[in-house]
Structure formats: C-alpha cells, structure tokens
A and B are shown apart, each in its own frame.
Chain A
C-alpha cells in the first residue's frame, strides 16, 4: 500500500518546493540532499494531518518540519540523528516505525504472537480432522484371515 505511492512523492515534493520556493534554500539544487529529504520525510508523520507523511503533507507545520530536516541534512547529520532531533521534540509518534522499547512491546510482538497462536490452532484442528489410521488389531486380523480361509466353521 505504502509502496504504491512512492512514485508520487518526487512529484508532490516538487510541487511543495515550487509553492514554498522562497523558503527553499540553495540545497534544493543538491539532488543528493533532496533524495535524502524525500527518503526521510516519507518515514515521518505530519502531526497535523496524522495519516499523511511529512513528504506528502501540505500543512504549514509539515513545511516547517521539512525545512528543519533540510537544515539538519545541510549540517551533515545522519538519518538517525535527524530522526532523534524530531522525536526529542514531538515524541515517537512522528516516526511511522516506532522504536522497540518497553512501551511498544505489545505493538511489535502481538501481531506475530497472534499469527503463531493461529497457526498452532489451525494445525491442531487439521490434525483432528484426519486422524492417523488406527493400528490394526493383530487378533482381529487373524480371525478375519481364518474366516477368509474358511477355517473357522467350528467356531460358528
């Protein structure tokens, strides 16, 4: 779902750049930095329209945060430093991929745990539907064999 919109992002970003051309600094002409801005802001959430990424949002706050990210890139910060710059101010909510910690254990572990429980239940049920063939009773086979051979008339 998320991936299907990647092709749109350069377009949207180009649009937002033309809109805020006066705030875009010289770094806008640096394709490397712009690629990183797109990559980073696609991972970050706009806090005003919470289901939009920072890359796609037209909200003024998103513009400001893109400006901050652009400046951090210009300062030579790496991606994790830029993300922690934003989480220090806005909390983990700004990232679409929350970090793994005590508060997010359920968030990360519940889905795989439920999947495993579901698979186990499915396996138990399937096993019950097709029980393994019962081991034939040796005495019964002997009796049948005798009957087949016509040797058990005396027992009738």
Chain B
C-alpha cells in the first residue's frame, strides 16, 4: 500500500492540474453581482442628450459594453440584433473608449440593436463597472442591481442559457 503512495499523489495532482487547465483564467468573477449598478451620466450617441441608469428603474435591462475597435463585438452583434427584435428587454450599448464617428459608422453598417447608445470616451464608467475586456454584458434588474455579468461575446447559446433566464428573473 505504502509503495503506491507517490503514484497516488501523482494522480491526485494530475487530476487537479487537469481541472485547472479547463478553467479560463481570463474570466474573473465580478464583485459587483448583487450590488446596485454604479450611477453615471453619459452623452448619448443615438440622439442628443444624456442617459443615466435610473431612467430604466422598474425594468430589467442589458448593458452591453462594446467598441468599434473590438473584433469580438462584430461576432456578437447579429445576436444582439436578434434579441432586440424578439424581446422587449432594453439593451443599452456602452461605447467604450471609442471615437464617436467610428461608433456611429459601425452601427450604421451593422444595425443598431440598442435602445440607448452612450459614449464612455475615457473608460471611466468602464472602471466603475469593473470592465477589463470588451465585450462584456451586464444584466440589471428592476431594482437597479447588477445580477449577472457575461464576459466575451454573447452567442445564441449564452443568451438562451444564461442571459434570458436571468432577465426573466430580474423582471419579476
């Protein structure tokens, strides 16, 4: 029994390290889950004026962080267009560290799924939301709390399995 001990330790370590390999180190759990969404007031890009999250109190909504320089955003954009067509949940597009001109051209080319488009030109609101990689998508509930965060592009699968159930819960 005792002579197999090193072998058992080896296999134990191999299993642990193997599990470690399947985890994505870039995916950090957000500390903001369950906390009130940070307040801000930013210029709108779709119409003149400003937007603040308190305007959507009483509704569950998505905050999608995107930029025209972000290639994964091109990938997720058709999914967002579909969501906007099929569901009532407002999607707010936070244009992160971008040029207004580029952002507007990008939306004109690919379609605008956003109820509101706002410009975070210096990335300050991004810092408040703990944004570290674009795209990121937050689910914010009726009471204005962040209930879920998805890092990386939204796919049909991600929307169906994660975002939609969270949105439906957040609407109740």
Question: Which residues of A approach B to under 8 Å, CB–CB?
Answer: 47-48, 50, 60-61, 64-65, 68, 87-91, 93
A47, B28: Cβ atoms under 8 Å?
yes
Interface size on B, residues (CB 8 A): 18
Cβ-based interface call for B99 (8 A): no
Q: Whole-angstrom distance between the alpha carbons of A57 and B53 in the complex?
A: 32
Interface residues of B (CB under 8 A from A): 25-26, 28-32, 97, 122-124, 126-130, 132-133
Secondary structure of the A contact surface, majority rule: helix
- Do residues B32 and A89 form an inter-chain contact, with CB atoms below 8 A? yes
Is there an interface contact between B28 and A91, defined as CB atoms closer than 8 Å? yes
Note all chain A residues with C-beta closer than 8 A to B126.
Answer: 64
Q: Tally inter-chain residue pairs, CB-CB below 8 A.
A: 36
CB contact between A87 and one of B25, B26, B31 (< 8 Å): that residue = B31
A48, B134: Cα distance in complex, Å: 11
Q: What would 27 A/B residue contacts be, using CB atoms closer than 8 Å?
A: A47-B28, A47-B132, A47-B133, A48-B132, A50-B25, A60-B97, A60-B123, A61-B123, A61-B132, A64-B122, A64-B123, A64-B124, A64-B126, A64-B127, A65-B127, A68-B127, A87-B31, A88-B31, A89-B32, A89-B128, A89-B129, A89-B130, A90-B28, A91-B28, A91-B30, A91-B31, A91-B130
A152 to chain B, nearest CB (A): 47
Q: Which residue of A lies closest to B123 (CB)?
A: A64
Interface of B (DSSP majority class)? loop
Q: For the complex formed, measure the closest distance between the CB of A15 and the CB atoms of chain B, giving whole angstroms.
A: 21
Closest beta carbon of chain B to A82's beta carbon, Å? 13
- Which of B26, B31, B129, B133 has most chain A Cβ within 10 Å? B31
